[in-house]
Every structure is written in structure tokens, then in C-alpha cells.
Structure 1
Amino acid sequence: MKRLLTATVATLALAMPASAHFQLIFNPEANPTAPAEMPLHLIFWHPFDNGHAMDMGTPEELFYVFRGERIDISDSLTPMTFTGAHNSAAGFEATLPVRRNGDYTVVLVPEPYFEESEGIYIQQLTTVYFNKGGIPTDWNEPVGLPTEFVPLNRPYNVIAGSTFSAQLLSNGEPVPGAEIEVEYLAAEPDMETHTAGAPSVGPMPGGAIVAITDENGVFTFGVPRAGFWGFAALGTGPETEHDGTDLSQDAVIWIRAYDME
């Protein structure tokens, strides 16, 4: 896998090896049917292989967008310890207040994480989507992050066996030719015990699953099975330095796929 650090949107210049870090915002129910205070788990992890978990610092921002309004929920953050198959690490719990019908786009801007093995900081700007009542509102609108994915399919009810597409943006402009790493949440976290469940599948042979954006910054992925799928564009953000050290500012999106019944 390559982690790409960009000085500009058009220049993907510096590459170095990395492992499959993925920032996660998790609740198992993507389509709540009733008003609720939905708990969220914020975990920095290797979810495909239930691998090493990384300590998170206090997030810089945590908010959701509902019908065009941005609502801060950082005051709901509570530190917690997440335990995977190999180690425990610092994460956070938070609460999403779901009231009215429509789309809830949850956005996390984490504190940059220093990856000692690579000698760089990593900051994964992450979005996940919830919908109440089956009424779509603004799931396909950008939220204004330095780099982000804009879904072209509803991200909370993708049909397993179909495809998912999204457009990658940096500073609001499409990013052509970017490598998109694909991740599957093979071991869903237990919301009560803060532990990883048993993995349902193992990682694929041959390394990371990747797709490449086209000239309009769009990629398409055939979703082979139900569950939570993540997509990361590494180093596509405009910020390339933190505390005098290289920074990979990444866009991450999570979607929910279902089998047809």
C-alpha cells in the first residue's frame, strides 16, 4: 500500500509504505426507525484483519450535518478503551441525537496521529451516514472538509452485489488519479464491552484492495457482501505538515450494505 502526501491537488509526489489504518465512527444501526440518543464509537484501527488499534488524541472536531445545518456534538465525547484482538487503545464514545426524519452526516476531524514506523502524522477526516424514516435529505452534499468523499449512491442502504460510487474532493475540487484503499469491517465492535467481535472474513491475499479515481475524481467499487465498507484516499488533503513533520491528511468514508431479503 502507498501513503501519498500531496503538496497540491494535482501533484501526488511523495510515497511511502504504510499499513491499513482506518478511522472508524461506528454504530451498528445505520437506519434508526425511532428517535434515539445513538451511541457512537470512535476508534483508530485495522478493522479488516482485527489488527493493531492506535491511541486517539482528543478530536479536533466532531459534528453532524442535518438538512444543511452543522451541529457540534464534541461536548458528548467521553474517553474509552477499545480492545481488539492484539491490543487495547484509547478511543472515544459520543452521542448522536436523532430526532427528525432525514439524513445525519457525522463528521470527525481527529487529532493528527504520529505513526512512528513511517515517521509521519496521519489525520483521517472521516464521514459516516445515518438515516431516519427512509426520507433522504442531503446525503450527497459535501460538508466542506479540506478533503472528502461525496457519495453518488445513498451510503446507508447499498445493496450487496451492486456498486458504490463517490467523488473525491480536495479544497472542493475533484482529485483525478487518486488511489482509494478499500476496507471491510470484519470484526464489528461490541457497543457495550468496547471490544472487537469475532472476524467474519479475513483480509484478501495480495495486499490492500484499491480503486483509482477517474478524470472527474470518481471511483466505483463492486460491493460483494453486506456490512460496513470503508474507503480512504491517502494524502489528498491540502495540509502536508504538522509540528514540522510530514502529514498525510486523508479522506475516509464509511457505508452500509445490506443483503436483499
Structure 2
Amino acid sequence: MFFHGNLVTAALALTLVPGLASAHFQLSHTGDALIDRPGDVPVKLIFWHPFENGHVMDMAEPLEFYAIHRGERIDLKGSLIRTTFAGADNAAMAWDGILPVKRAGDYVLVTVPAPYYEGSEDVYIQQITKTYLNRGQMPTDWTEPQGLKAEIVPMVKPYNVIAGSTFTGRVMSDGTPVAGAEIEIEFMAAEPDMATGRAGPPTARPMPGGTVVAISDGNGYFTFGIPRAGWWGFAALGVGPDTEHEGKELSQDAVIWIRAHDLD
């Protein structure tokens, strides 16, 4: 088993998993991670395959949808409106929400979706998802865990990662680090159009050989080199304590989205 060092020498097992051409990813998507001024920020909740602009899954009403700002919880579930999101192959149920941004600081968006039944595998999937926004370049909350059943805690500020550098996260299950967790890695090659509710044109192709995967070390850490700017998602599979839903297997996953930028 590997053990965590610094960002350069952090343990990383990186593989391409045969037979997996794509990965399910829960999105809590905004147009940008950096907010210039106060106002309402639109959020799209989509369950999708964003790397290859693949199949969109119907997303039931989330169990929870909220933001953490300066340690305080802002309930956003009342803002949700059911809508449709269209990928290249199909359209499916999604949700539009609103994040009211007032003061400077971090806004940690948390989505706890209802479990989704994946018929091809006869299992339920629940991807507890975090996305980080910031207004005014004032960091306030990004370093703190949110006490979720399954989560990835960032070790690098998640809304202004430098493309070409690395991202390190720590996989947690009910506050306990998870060793040997399998983390699927996804580039949002086709970004959702916030105005039309449709996928934009893909800007990259999925990797040959299947889904990109990292394995957490003995203390729950993993590190991945970020090759280009854009939104990157990390999903630690089956790390949550809940393993069954309605008599079937449940994969309770931790998802985090980060935003990488090129140096000008």
C-alpha cells in the first residue's frame, strides 16, 4: 500500500480499466466557479456521461440540495425546478436551481441525490456531490469537510487549480479516511449550456482503454495531474456506509468537481 507524501511524491496508482468506456457522474454545474458580483447563480443538476457527451439518466428530485458559506448552511432545495437536459443521444429529467450569492467567500454546493437504479448492473447508485464556487478571492470554507456520508476533501484550492499542476484529495466515509478507494476521473469535455439546457460540443475525446482511475493510499489520499483547463470530476466509488437500497446493492459514491485554469 502507498502512503501520502507531498504533492510531488504523493501516492498514485493510475490505471485504465478495461471494458469501461464511460462513467456515471452527478453534476452540480454552474457556468463558472469564480463569481464576480452579488446575485443569483443558476445551477444545473444533471446525471450524465459528460466526457463523451453520452447517455443522460433521469434524475429524481434530490434528497438534499444546499450550500455551505462561512460555515453556515443555505437550503437551496426550494429553488429547484424540474427540467430536461439534452445530450447528444437523448434527453432526460434534470433540475434547475438557484444559489444566491451575497457576501465574499466560498460557496460549497452539496447535492445528495436520490439513489438511481442502474438496470444493466442491477444496482442503485447515489453520488453525493460537491462543487466549489468563490466570490471575491476570499477563501472561507474549501479546506473543511462537510460531514457527509461520502466525500472527497480537497487538499488543493478546488476552484483555481493550475492546468499542468496536480490535484490532491482525501476520500472520507463518515469522517474516516478510506484506503484503497477506486476513484474514477472525468473531464467535462461537453459543458452544459446554461441557457438552453443542452450539451455543448465536446472539446476532447475519452481516453482509449476506458475510464481513468486512481486508487487512494493508506491514508485516503490520491493525486492526479491535471493536463488541461476546464471542469474535472472525481468519483470515489462505493465508499459510503450505506450499501443497500430497496433490497438491492447500493454504491454510495463521493463526487467532487474542480475547476482548472490556464496561466495567461
* Distance in 1 separating the partners of 2:146 and 2:113: 16
Aligned to 2:188: 185
Deviates more, 1:207-216 or 1:44-53: 207-216
Aligned to 1:32: 35
Deviation of the 1:240 alpha carbon: 0.5
Q: TM-score, normalised by structure 1?
A: 0.93
Aligned to 2:251: 248
Query: C-alpha root-mean-square deviation of aligned residues, in Å?
Result: 1.2
> Residue 212 of structure 1 is aligned with which of 215, 236, 242?
215
Q: Which runs of 5+ in 2 are unaligned?
A: 1-18
Deviation of the 1:33 alpha carbon: 1.2
In the comparison of the two structures, how many residue pairs are matched? 246
Using a 3 Å threshold, how does the CA distance of structure 1 residues 229 and 203 change in structure 2: closer, same or farther? same
- Whether the aligned pair in 1 keeps the contact of 2:22 and 2:51 (CA below 8 Å) is no
Letter of the 1:184 partner, please give it: F
Deviations 1:160-217 (A, max 9, x none): 0000001100010000111111000000111111000000001000111111111110
> Residue 79 of structure 2 is aligned with which of 76, 80, 98?
76
- Whether the aligned pair in 2 keeps the contact of 1:145 and 1:171 (CA below 8 Å) is yes
* Distance in 1 separating the partners of 2:238 and 2:35: 33
Larger strand percent: 1
> Residue 230 of structure 1 is aligned with which of 218, 221, 233?
233
- Whether the aligned pair in 2 keeps the contact of 1:31 and 1:156 (CA below 8 Å) is yes
Deviation of the 1:18 alpha carbon: 8.9
Q: TM-score, normalised by structure 2?
A: 0.92
> Residue 206 of structure 2 is aligned with which of 181, 185, 203?
203
Indicate the SS of the match to 2:35: coil
* Distance in 2 separating the partners of 1:19 and 1:237: 22
Q: Which runs of 4+ in 1 moved over 3 A?
A: 16-19
**1:20 is the counterpart of 2:23:** yes
Deviation of the 1:132 alpha carbon: 0.2
* Distance in 2 separating the partners of 1:181 and 1:43: 17
- Whether the aligned pair in 1 keeps the contact of 2:50 and 2:188 (CA below 8 Å) is yes
Identity %: 60
**1:158 is the counterpart of 2:164:** no
**1:101 is the counterpart of 2:99:** no
Q: Which runs of 5+ in 1 are unaligned?
A: 1-15
Letter of the 1:70 partner, please give it: R
> Residue 64 of structure 2 is aligned with which of 28, 39, 61?
61
Deviations 1:52-107 (A, max 9, x none): 00000010000000111111110000001000000000000000010000000000
- Whether the aligned pair in 2 keeps the contact of 1:156 and 1:256 (CA below 8 Å) is yes
